[in-house]
Amino acid sequence: MSSRSRDIDDLVVRARQGQARAVGRLISLIEDGAPELRALAAALARDTGRAQVVGITGPPGVGKSTMAGALVAAFRAAGKRVGVLAVDPSSPFSGGALLGDRVRMQEHATDPEVFIRSMATRGHLGGIAWATPQALRVLAAAGYTQVLVETVGVGQSEVEVMALADTTVVVLAPGMGDGVQAAKAGILEVADILVVNKADREGAEQTVRELQHMISLGRREVAGPSWRPPIVCTTAHKTEGIDDLVAAIDEHRAWMLSHGELDARRQRRAEAEVEAIALAQLHGRLGDVLRGSALPGLAKRVVAGDLDVYRAADELIAELTG
Amino acid sequence: MSSRSRDIDDLVVRARQGQARAVGRLISLIEDGAPELRALAAALARDTGRAQVVGITGPPGVGKSTMAGALVAAFRAAGKRVGVLAVDPSSPFSGGALLGDRVRMQEHATDPEVFIRSMATRGHLGGIAWATPQALRVLAAAGYTQVLVETVGVGQSEVEVMALADTTVVVLAPGMGDGVQAAKAGILEVADILVVNKADREGAEQTVRELQHMISLGRREVAGPSWRPPIVCTTAHKTEGIDDLVAAIDEHRAWMLSHGELDARRQRRAEAEVEAIALAQLHGRLGDVLRGSALPGLAKRVVAGDLDVYRAADELIAELTG
């Protein structure tokens, strides 16, 4: 056994004892794409799917972090240990927004039964969608079996992150204007529960009506019995409506269990994770080959206009596989 | 010759005559990742690098589209035919923002010497970074040799799009707060020219000073003689400062030509494009294999906790390559 995998085993033992520092170290290794991840995955295989994961997404400014803070309080009141991952999937830059989010959660920061962490990836293929399931295993091993995954924004990467949740909560707010309009069509695709936050503001009822209309248009084309996303109104900074949201989350979980949907989602997630790791490894090999390959010469002919890019790609593939 | 490649040849002939409809049809084929792209690449090999590409990026709300409109007017005044690609790389949703951008450019919409187009991709691997160079060839073939590429936002995908420009203009505005702060560190990495737009607003001087400070910290670690990004102040809706911006773009181009940087960038771009096409094709083959593979069975063992994800990936790779 190498010293590295001994280190991992030691960190895993301490994480299982609930030591937050060990949990943090392991998640840092995941962010870095460290070579030790192979040993970590082996040590945590049995923790797959043990975390109950609620995803929170929505456009900036709708109050996702306040919402997450209120949910953490509700879960704590129910005696659960809670993990929070604040994920910024699309930015290559250090996330100022997420630091802000952590500040807004500071009432929980000193609670040893709550583990809060923002997470980024440093440019891996597959990025955060590949790192998040590994971090969820670490949290589950440390007994944080109720996990909130929060993302900033509503882009493609956020949709990928939300595919990792058991229940996805999409948060909107009245009067958000164009950003929300643009995102709504896509948002309905991923939402298990829709929240209209800041429900004490003008326009909340209209936002609810618009969402009801969009749901009734039946954009979800699902095989089998389908879940109709409920709309929950909240005013998170006053913790109004949070009980309704918790009830909706429980109801969605019960529905999934009784319809085999939780198992189906876990199976799809495991398939996606294995495929992503296989792709990342193949991509690594490809990179090794490319560094010593004909690529610069092929590119030079493309720049000169003597070769088109598809035929250049053909020649490259022939070199890789031949 | 297939009827499809005859269609492509016909569209290319009409695009070369400057027919905007043919240009639009070809760019739609690129967005769709149509099989005809191979024939298109062959027909346009000699148009590689013929477009002079200025990229415009920056956080939402800084006035990128107004800036782009003012630049189009300046290029038109210099007698150039201008192409504008408004690219939304990160959103899987139909882009409301880009429609807005097009409206703001409507003063040019009826000018036959200006071609304006928003572009999205429908979930290809490599996405827009793969589609944009092909669209640039189409524009060059149609005589739109001065091209503006505009992106929304400042994420990783935007950085990839900007890698396709000869000169990247990063637009900021005073008082943008956290979003700008978060993005600044990354923004300097891609900026050839920094613009502080809305320079008539309070706080503009402070933004300039902050940027000067960041540039003086010398975050750019470049081999060889390095370009120091100038800071240009503009008030785009009054077209103030646009002449300075055009001068800065010309100066950057002259610097690149005299330092071999333009050739170096073109070489890097062609390498990246060929690699992206090769990867997309390998990925397509992988998908074909996966559909009939052991993946579901492997994922089932992962869900049960009997197999870790790395060993599952190993088994998958062994199946693919063995």
Which pLDDT value is given to residue A60?
A: 73
Q: Highest mean pLDDT range out of B181-185, B204-208, B318-322?
A: B204-208
pLDDT in tens, B254-288: 999 999 999 999 988 888 888 888 877 777 777 77
Q: Highest mean pLDDT range out of A43-52, A103-112, A134-143, A175-184?
A: A134-143
Which pLDDT value is given to residue B128?
A: 66
- Residue whose structure tokens are 């400014």: A61
pLDDT in tens, A43-61: 999 898 889 999 998 877 7
Look at residues B210, B203, B80 and name the one whose alpha carbon lies nearest to residue B145. Answer: B80
Q: Measured between CB atoms, does A42 come within 8 Å of chain B?
A: yes
The structure tokens listed for A81 are 């240990």
For B240, list phi and psi in degrees, rounded to 5: -80, 130
Look at residues B321, B301, B320 and name the one whose alpha carbon lies nearest to residue B311. Answer: B301
What contacts A124, CB < 8 A, 6 or more positions away?
Answer: A33, A130, A131, A280
Which pLDDT value is given to residue B187?
A: 66
- Tell me the nearest-neighbour CA distance from A296 into chain B, angstroms: 6
Which pLDDT value is given to residue B258?
A: 95
What is the distance between the alpha carbons of residues B253 and B247, in angstroms, rounded to a whole number?
A: 10
What is the distance between the alpha carbons of residues A91 and A8, in angstroms, rounded to a whole number?
A: 29
Q: Report the sign of the C-alpha dihedral through residues B168, B169, B175, B176, in that order.
A: negative
| Edge-to-edge strand list for the sheet holding A82-87 | A114-119, A82-87, A146-151, A52-57, A167-172, A193-196, A231-233
Yes or no, beta carbons of A271 and B296 under 8 Å apart: yes
What is the distance between the alpha carbons of residues B84 and B148, in angstroms, rounded to a whole number?
A: 5
What is the distance between the alpha carbons of residues A125 and A86, in angstroms, rounded to a whole number?
A: 20
Q: Measured between CB atoms, does B45 come within 8 Å of chain A?
A: yes
Side chain identity at residue A166, one-letter code: D
The structure tokens listed for A258 are 């009784």
Cα three-residue angle B161-B210-B179, rounded to 5 degrees? 50
Yes or no, beta carbons of A313 and B274 under 8 Å apart: yes
The structure tokens listed for A18 are 């609930």
Chains A, B: CB contacts within 8 A come to 203
CB B307 within 8 A of CB A45: yes
3-class SS of residue B61: coil
Which of B99, B161, B181, B271 would you mutate first to test chain A, the one with the most A CBs within 10 A? B271
Which pLDDT value is given to residue B237?
A: 85
Yes or no, beta carbons of B311 and A181 under 8 Å apart: no
- Residue whose structure tokens are 């923790």: A47
Question: What are the residue boundaries of the structural domains of chain A, listed by start?
Answer: 48-259, 275-321
CB A169 within 8 A of CB A191: yes
What is the distance between the alpha carbons of residues A221 and A39, in angstroms, rounded to a whole number?
A: 40
CB B191 within 8 A of CB B245: no
pLDDT beyond 50 at A4: yes
Other C-beta atoms within 10 Å of B222: how many? 9
Which pLDDT value is given to residue A110?
A: 76
pLDDT in tens, A198-257: 999 988 998 888 888 777 765 554 445 688 899 999 998 888 999 999 999 999 999 999
Q: Write down the ipTM of this complex.
A: 0.74
Mean per-residue pLDDT for A10-38? 91
Which pLDDT value is given to residue A126?
A: 53
Q: Three-class SS string for B277-315?
A: HHHHHHHHHHHHHHHCCCHHHHHHHHHCCCCCHHHHHHH
CB within 8 Å of chain A, chain B residues 256-295: 263, 266-267, 270-271, 273-275, 277-279, 281-283, 286, 290, 295
What is the distance between the alpha carbons of residues A5 and A38, in angstroms, rounded to a whole number?
A: 9
- Percent of chain A residues topping a pLDDT of 70: 79
Q: Measured between CB atoms, does A238 come within 8 Å of chain B?
A: no
Yes or no, beta carbons of B274 and A46 under 8 Å apart: no
What is the distance between the alpha carbons of residues A21 and A15, in angstroms, rounded to a whole number?
A: 8
CB within 8 Å of chain B, chain A residues 75-94: 90-94
How does DSSP classify residue A61?
T
What contacts B309, CB < 8 A, 6 or more positions away?
Answer: A41, A45, A48, A133, A134, A270, A273, A274, A277, B302
Which pLDDT value is given to residue B232?
A: 96
Which pLDDT value is given to residue B260?
A: 92
| Reported CATH class of domain B48-258 | alpha beta
Look at residues B191, B226, B198 and name the one whose alpha carbon lies nearest to residue B212. Answer: B191
pLDDT beyond 90 at A5: no
* Alpha helices per DSSP H over chain A: 3-16, 20-32, 37-43, 64-77, 96-104, 106-109, 127-141, 156-162, 178-190, 204-216, 242-258, 261-291, 295-303, 309-321
Q: Confidence class of residue A155 from pLDDT cuts 50, 70 and 90?
A: low
Q: Highest mean pLDDT range out of A250-264, A266-280, B89-103?
A: A250-264
Which of B93, B124, B291 would you mutate first to test chain A, the one with the most A CBs within 10 A? B93
CB B171 within 8 A of CB B58: yes
| Average pLDDT over all residues of chain A | 81
CB within 8 Å of chain B, chain A residues 132-191: 133-134, 154-157, 159, 178-179, 181-183, 185-186
What is the distance between the alpha carbons of residues B233 and B245, in angstroms, rounded to a whole number?
A: 8
Q: Measured between CB atoms, does A305 come within 8 Å of chain B?
A: yes
Burial class (CB in 10 A: 0-12, 13-18, 19+), A2: exposed
Look up the CATH architecture of domain A48-259: 3-Layer(aba) Sandwich (3.40)
Least confident of A81-85, A222-226, A266-270, B204-208: A222-226
pLDDT in tens, B137-153: 999 999 999 999 988 66
Radius of gyration of chain A from its Cα atoms, rounded to whole angstroms: 22
Q: What is the DSSP string of A162-184?
A: HTT-SEEEEEE-TT-THHHHHHH
Which pLDDT value is given to residue B104?
A: 54
What contacts B25, CB < 8 A, 6 or more positions away?
Answer: B11
A31 compared with B52, residue with greater pLDDT? B52
**B96 → closest Cβ in A100, A178, A299:** A178
Q: What is the DSSP string of A69-136?
A: HHHHHHHHHTT--EEEEEE--S-SS--HHHHHHHHHTHHHHT-TTEEEEEE--SS-TTHHHHHHHHHH
B92 CB neighbours in chain A (<8 A) are 155-156, 159, 186
Which of A288, A310, A319 would you mutate first to test chain B, the one with the most B CBs within 10 A? A310
pLDDT beyond 50 at A92: no
Q: Highest mean pLDDT range out of A156-170, A178-192, A300-314, B156-170?
A: A300-314
Mean per-residue pLDDT for B291-308? 86
| Average pLDDT over all residues of chain B | 81
Question: Distance from first CA to last CA of chain A, Å, rounded?
Answer: 36
Which of B176, B269, B310 would you mutate first to test chain A, the one with the most A CBs within 10 A? B310
Look at residues B83, B87, B82, B81 and name the one whose alpha carbon lies nearest to residue B64. Answer: B87
Long-range contacts of B226-233 (CB under 8 A, 24+ apart): B227/B192, B227/B252, B227/B255, B227/B256, B227/B261, B229/B188, B229/B191, B229/B192, B229/B193, B229/B194, B230/B193, B230/B194, B231/B194, B231/B195, B231/B196, B232/B193, B232/B194, B232/B195, B232/B196, B233/B195, B233/B196, B233/B199, B233/B204, B233/B208
- Tell me the nearest-neighbour CA distance from B161 into chain A, angstroms: 14
